[in-house]
Amino acid sequence: MENLVTKDGRILNPTLSTYLIPTIWDIPREVKSVILEYADPRGPWGARGMAEMPFIAVASALHHALREATGVWYNRFPFNAERVLRGLKGRS
């Protein structure tokens, strides 16, 4: 998802229909958030963002799960079939 390909500031994806973005069907049915009331030293007056915070760690978790399953360390997103297969072929 979100595999926007650019070069020299130009979008190389042939159409925007091939640029997939997450939808409501791509998130878990239930998310349990734990709200910690600690000031963020980098935020103005200690403010923290609230929008997508529960999902910040998802990419890292997927990355480590893929590493555990395949033994390959991927250093680019998204983990599409082509990229995973390329990594598996280069492993040997």
52 is catalytic: yes
Choice among 2, 37, 52, 82 that is catalytic: 52
Provide the 10 A C-beta neighbour count for residue 75: 6
The residues that are catalytic are: 52
